[in-house]
Amino acid sequence: MVMDLIDKQELFHRMEQLQERIGMFYQEISELRLMVGDLLEENQNLILENANLRDRVDFGVSHEAPPSEAKKYLHTLYDDGFHICNINYGSMRKGECLFCMESLQRT
């Protein structure tokens, strides 16, 4: 099959257009991916904040030593890489934290 010059130009033009559109798709996908990442992070923070507030309410009402469920929860939270100490509660932990260790021993 032989193409004349006009057909070839048309073909290249359409391929360029398609490439441009694919580039836009990729950009949109990566933007959406960032948004989903932000939402997941926000969701995680809200879960921690909610748990934190619930703990405070529980402890505030009872004035007693934390129950074993809360103890387990704090251990899990610490093992998952979050601070459970008063100073940095709920934030991401980088390495060991002496305050957290102390909190774990106290509970």
Q: Does residue 100 belong to the site contacting Zn ion (CB under 5 A)?
A: yes
Return the structure tokens found at 47. 């879960």
Among residues 5 and 98, whose Cβ is nearest to Zn ion? 98
Among residues 1 and 90, whose Cβ is nearest to Zn ion? 90
Q: Which residue has the tokens 């932000």?
A: 38
Binding string, residues 24-63; x marks residues near Zn ion by CB under 5 A: ----------------------------------------
Taking the C-alpha atoms of residue 100 and residue 74, their distance in angstroms, rounded to an integer, is 10
Taking the C-alpha atoms of residue 60 and residue 28, their distance in angstroms, rounded to an integer, is 47
**Which one-letter amino acid corresponds to residue 54?**
R
**Residue among 88, 90, 104, 107 that touches Zn ion (CB under 5 A):** 88
Among residues 14 and 85, whose Cβ is nearest to Zn ion? 85
Among residues 32 and 87, whose Cβ is nearest to Zn ion? 87
Q: Does residue 85 belong to the site contacting Zn ion (CB under 5 A)?
A: yes
CA atoms within 13 A on the CB side of 73: 13
Q: Output phi, psi for 93, to 5 deg.
A: -100, 135
The residues of the shown chain that bind Zn ion, judged by CB under 5 A, are 83, 85, 88, 97, 99-100
